[in-house]
Amino acid sequence: MQASELYKVPSPVQAFHLDWMKERNLSLTIKRDDLIHDAVSGNKWRKLKFNILQVKHLGKTGILTFGGAYSNHLLATAHACYSFGLESMAIVRGDELNEKSNDILRQCSKWGMQFRFVSREEYHLKDDFEYKNELKDEFRSHYIIPEGGKSYLGIIGCQEIVSELQNEFDEIWVAQGTCTTSIGLALSCNINQTIQAVPILKGFDVSMEISDIMKFAGFDPESVGQVLSRLNIHAEYHFGGYGKTTEELLNFILKMKEEHDLGLDPIYTGKAFFALQDYYKNSDIENRKIVFLHTGGLIAGSYLK
């Protein structure tokens, strides 16, 4: 099967109307990466695409990756591997779990994913050089992709999002987990454009994380500086941290669904879209062309209840 038949790329762009934004000449469009695929949703396909090509180039027969119990990345990897005839193996955080612990893991398992459930201490070693070498020795036919697709090839895949945007824009809003997507966006936009990133993790040093990821991926200090200068971090919209929600957030998500038929998830996109509106409501900025990147996540989001 060809990737072009499976995944809806370029993803559609949709105008989104809110009266109060229109009055201030704030135009808002949504880049619908959530429509790329039901299971391999949003930025998860962007981050997997070149990694999967690499698996083929290297003549490997499977992918080994890492995730938590509610990981969109595991779901995406399991389905993509299933579609491309590859094996998939996941190192999962939590040795009290099994492949029937929740709907995500059950679904991954149906698509043929194998699991190793490890303690939090062992999971913590996921980016450790020695640990990865041990895994490489054990799983010789598998190509290792870091947690959440956080890799050089993942960053390159996310650059394609910006190249698909045909109309002029000033900024892109995006939910931020590992930072891979926001790095790809920031690298590929121009000097007058900014990336408005909304971390969904609490107490997370974004600049440090970005420098670490980029250095590890082989980017030079100038590129790191460029990315940091184009990123605007909105750190106050994590709603308590990963997987945490509030009544206010859930009501907002419901309202967007009922009034605008826009589905958002409570882990990532709901927080980012809330942040965008809250930020502009609390400022008097006018005349901006704003893009919201819908990174998907609706399946895992609906399982986390």
Binding site for ligand PLP (CB under 6 A): 42-44, 72, 148, 175-182, 268-269, 295-297
Q: Report the nearest approach of ligand PLP to the CB of residue 105 (Å).
A: 16
| Cβ count near 125 (within 10 Å) | 16
**Residue placing its CB nearer to ligand PLP in the complex, 7 or 139:** 7
61-97 burial, b for 16+ CB within 10 Å, e for fewer? Answer: ebbbbbbbbbbbbbbbbbbbbbbbebbbbbbbbeeeb
**Residue placing its CB nearer to ligand PLP in the complex, 83 or 181:** 181
**Residue placing its CB nearer to ligand PLP in the complex, 239 or 268:** 268
**Residue placing its CB nearer to ligand PLP in the complex, 78 or 179:** 179
Q: Report the nearest approach of ligand PLP to the CB of residue 55 (Å).
A: 20
**Residue placing its CB nearer to ligand PLP in the complex, 89 or 300:** 300
Q: Is the torsion defined by CA of 294, 298, 304, 305 positive or negative?
A: positive
**Residue placing its CB nearer to ligand PLP in the complex, 77 or 269:** 269
Distance of CA 216 to the CA centre of its chain: 19
Residue that the structure tokens 């209840």 belong to: 305
**E strand spans, the chain:** 13-16, 26-32, 62-67, 87-93, 113-118, 142-145, 171-176, 194-199, 231-233, 288-294
205-222 burial, b for 16+ CB within 10 Å, e for fewer? Answer: ebeebbbebbeebebeee
Residue that the structure tokens 């389905």 belong to: 79
Q: Report the nearest approach of ligand PLP to the CB of residue 23 (Å).
A: 30
Per DSSP, the residues of 87-103 read EEEEEEE-TT--TTSSH
133 vs 251: CA distance, rounded Å: 46
Q: Report the nearest approach of ligand PLP to the CB of residue 80 (Å).
A: 14
Structural contact between residues 175 and 294, judged by C-beta atoms closer than 8 angstroms: no
Q: Report the nearest approach of ligand PLP to the CB of residue 213 (Å).
A: 10
**Residue placing its CB nearer to ligand PLP in the complex, 88 or 181:** 181
Q: Report the nearest approach of ligand PLP to the CB of residue 219 (Å).
A: 16
Q: Report the nearest approach of ligand PLP to the CB of residue 156 (Å).
A: 13
Structural contact between residues 257 and 5, judged by C-beta atoms closer than 8 angstroms: no
* Residue type present at position 74: L
